[in-house]
Amino acid sequence: MSSPLEGARAAILEVEGLRRSFGGVQAVRGVSFAVAEGTITGLIGPNGAGKSTVLAMIAGSTSPSAGSITFRGQDISGKPPHRIARLGVIRTFQSSSEFERLTVLENMLVAAGSQRGERMGNALLGRWRWRSEEEEMVERARVLLERFEIPAKEDELAGNLSGGQKRLLELARSLMSEPQLLLLDEPMAGVNPSLVRRLEEHLLGLRAEGLTMLMVEHELGVVERLCDPVVVMAQGQVLSTGTMSELRSDQQVLDAYLVG
């Protein structure tokens, strides 16, 4: 494929024969792919293809009906979300998932607590044994908010942020527990074009720091600029895998997704 390094890169995540039905709907029907360490791997396909369901199964919020999910050699399929988060696998959501009535900073701290599997009360109340850890978390939150250029907003209620700022907050929150693998579900959804470019720069910066990402995205320009390789799903199955330019000349992919 595109990168000469690709063969040498170890898979951080391997999904094998994954299935999931909802009542009579077979949302995911035998999906297998791998995510190599250090990549932003794309996951694309038409509405209802099963992309979000695949991310939900990896993150543990939906259990697979069949198949296995291996993260760094460990089978994580069917484990509860907080255990998977603690291993370093964190998901962001297709719709921003902030708590509107909490401040931006509180949102960051709540995310840290839930990603670590602690009881939120302890993390927020700052009992003496949690004190130093809480201070460390506040410091980490401030650094991340500054990095994503939302520092002035830290005492603002999250509900008052613009749509684009909510997407930045969603990303910043996902980094509170120093994840190893980010599962991004349409991180650019509803974001205006100038912020799209900024978000792209942030994601490339994170990749340069060694973070691995699996990203669902509809905007193919974004996928082309960020993702290699790209996995194409349709109707619950994997159609093809390759670079975006390879996929553009793949007739099966064209028929199912890229045109018509």
Ligand X SMILES: Nc1ncnc2c1ncn2[C@@H]1O[C@H](COP(=O)(O)OP(=O)(O)OP(=O)(O)O)[C@@H](O)[C@H]1O
- Among the listed ranges 44-52, 67-75, 169-177, 232-240, the one in contact with Mg ion (CB under 5 A) is 44-52
- Among the listed ranges 29-37, 46-54, 109-117, 118-126, the one in contact with Mg ion (CB under 5 A) is 46-54
Could you tell me if residue 80 is left (phi over 0), alpha (psi between -120 and 50 degrees) or otherwise beta? beta
Q: Whole-angstrom Cα distance, residue 226 to residue 45?
A: 16
* 92 touches Mg ion by CB under 5 A: no
What is the rounded (10 degree) CA torsion for 226, 54, 172, 204? -10
Q: Whole-angstrom Cα distance, residue 108 to residue 137?
A: 9
CA distances from 49 to 34, 43, 189, 221 (A): 18, 10, 17, 20
Query: Which ranges of 88-157 would DSSP assign to H, the alpha helix?
Result: 104-116, 120-125, 128-147
Nearer to ligand X, 148 or 257 (CB): 257
Nearer to Mg ion, 2 or 95 (CB): 95
* 27 touches ligand X by CB under 6 A: yes
The CA-based angle 153-216-259, given to 5 degrees, is 125
Among 22, 63, 160, 249, binds ligand X (CB under 6 A): 22
* 226 touches ligand X by CB under 6 A: no
Among 52, 77, 96, 240, binds Mg ion (CB under 5 A): 52
The strand pairing partners of 70, in sequence order, are: 14, 75
Among 29, 51, 79, 166, binds ligand X (CB under 6 A): 51
- Among the listed ranges 48-56, 83-91, 108-116, 129-137, the one in contact with Mg ion (CB under 5 A) is 48-56
Nearer to Mg ion, 52 or 177 (CB): 52
Nearer to ligand X, 89 or 232 (CB): 232
* 53 touches ligand X by CB under 6 A: yes
Among 24, 92, 7, 8, residue whose Cα is nearest residue 58:
92
Residues that bind Mg ion (CB under 5 A): 52
| Binding region for ligand X (CB under 6 A) | 22, 25, 27, 45, 47-53, 94
